[in-house]
């Protein structure tokens, strides 16, 4: 049952408009309390100085933490209630990987952290977020299939 849930979350992620029309996500892997997302850097993600914009860091870090949490919430879509990021170094080429992990869970609050690595395995950013369970059911209507 868990693998089916992870597979549905992965398909939901890859089929989301932002990941088909704006970002070129190369891979997502979800497991118990963990998510890994890969993105190949292309110049459309660059700011004026020729490195990826902070919004790309944020998106990948938030997505990895979010799906780590949703891996253990099997009946509803979770929501990001806050997320803080720290940018360590710029990146302008290669494949970057975000890895999210659940750090705390209670009835109404989930805390997850994520780290973003360049293709050499160097940490380029990290973040921590708070998440809560929504009233939106995981269903085919939102791409959970």
Reported as a single tens digit per residue, the pLDDT across 39-82 is 999 999 999 999 999 999 999 999 999 999 999 999 999 999 99
Element containing residue 77 per DSSP (H, E): strand 76-87
Task: Locate the domains of the chain by residue range.
Answer: 2-142
The dihedral formed by the CA atoms of 36, 94, 44 and 88, expressed in degrees to the nearest 10: 70
User: Which fold is adopted by the domain 2-142?
Assistant: Thiol Ester Dehydrase; Chain A (3.10.129)
pLDDT digits (tens, 9 = 90+) for 10-29: 999 999 999 999 998 879 99
Contact (Cβ atoms closer than 8 angstroms) between residue 113 and residue 73:
no
CA-CA distance, 76 to 139, in Å (whole number)? 8
pTM, to two decimals: 0.96
Among 88, 85, 82, residue whose Cα is nearest residue 51: 88
């Amino acid at each position: 049952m868990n693998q089916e849930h992870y597979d549905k979350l992965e398909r939901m992620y890859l089929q989301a408009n932002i990941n088909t029309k704006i970002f070129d996500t190369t891979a997502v892997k979800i497991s118990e309390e963990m998510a890994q997302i890969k993105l190949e850097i292309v110049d459309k993600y660059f700011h004026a100085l020729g490195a990826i914009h902070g919004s790309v860091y944020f998106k990948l870090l938030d997505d990895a933490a979010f799906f780590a949490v949703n891996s253990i919430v099997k009946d509803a879509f979770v929501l990001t209630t806050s997320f803080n990021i720290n940018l360590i170094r710029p990146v302008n080429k290669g494949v970057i990987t975000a890895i999210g992990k659940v750090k705390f869970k209670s009835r109404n609050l989930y805390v997850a952290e994520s780290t973003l690595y360049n293709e050499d395995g160097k940490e380029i950013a990290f973040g921590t977020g708070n998440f809560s369970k929504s009233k939106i059911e995981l269903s085919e209507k939102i791409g959970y299939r």
